[in-house]
Structure 1
């Protein structure tokens, strides 16, 4: 008779280098499952360790916990969600490209302020904190 290995939350935490609080949070989001023992302790399967390591890898790629939930749900339904993961990754790349464009435009704007401020003739008025900042229009 094979007995399934049941791990306490501290053991899963140690094996995955993930805080106990994060493990509880993952469980509250439905990313991880445990069973409660008669003593009230959470017990996890060995597969939970692999699942947590998977979650950490996907997070490192910039996926949201909501995305991860969708991937895991597909897996639990018997799918191999690689095609879905690829589409999420493409969306992530497009979002990053848009953010890069916005950041480049913002950098350019800041450089313009820097350059114009370097030659600015300051005439502070009473109560002014910094006339340079007060010259900025929002």
Structure 2
């Protein structure tokens, strides 16, 4: 299938598909006329990529685990470890953001918010 048809069926742009091809998320075959030709299963893969991004996975994470996940059955067991790992990343980021929020709240009303926080005393 040509890139325009793939883009329409996957609900994305041709530029996005070209970018994904550049970083190795999808691959198409070049025809003699120079057009890209993608296998039909690329549509499902692009839907998977979009869902993974919605769940907070970066393109690098998707690319790193993509081959294994394409082969994995759609079962809870096949994806649970990946989701557990992502939950730990999210928890760590939430802790960082909570600390950042506390630091910002402490600096409200201090005049210059870029000076070191006042030490109690």
TM-score of the superposition, structure 1-length normalised? 0.71
- The aligned counterpart of 1:110 is 104
Question: What stretches of structure 2 of length at least 5 have no aligned partner?
Answer: none
Structure 1 residue runs without a partner (length 5+): 1-6, 118-131
1:29 aligns with 2:23: yes
Q: Which has the larger radius of gyration?
A: 1
- Residue 84 of structure 1 deviates from its aligned partner by 5.5
Distance 1:108 1:34, change over 3 A: same
Tell me the residue number matched to 1:97.
91
Find the aligned partners of 2:63 and 2:106 in 1 and give their Cα distance.
43
Two-structure CA RMSD over aligned residues (Å): 2.3
Indicate conservation of the 8 Å contact 1:30/1:69, yes or no.
yes
Q: Structure 2 CA distance, aligned partners of 1:29 and 1:133?
A: 43
Task: Report how far residue 88 of structure 1 moved.
Answer: 2.2
The answer to whether the 8 Å contact 1:74/1:80 transfers is: no
Question: What is aligned with 1:56?
Answer: 50
Query: What TM-score comes out, normalization by structure 2 length?
Result: 0.79
Q: Find 2:34's aligned residue among 40, 53, 57.
A: 40
Deviations 1:92-116 (A, max 9, x none): 11111111112112212222222x5
**Structure 1 residue runs of 4+, over 6 Å off?**
none
C-alpha spacing 1:101/1:75, structure 2 compared with 1 (3 Å):
closer
Following TM superposition, by how much is the alpha carbon of 1:81 offset from its aligned partner in structure 2, in angstroms? 7.8
Contact in 1 for aligned 2:3/2:17 (Cα 8 Å): yes
- In 1, the alpha carbon distance for the partners of 2:91 and 2:14 equals 35
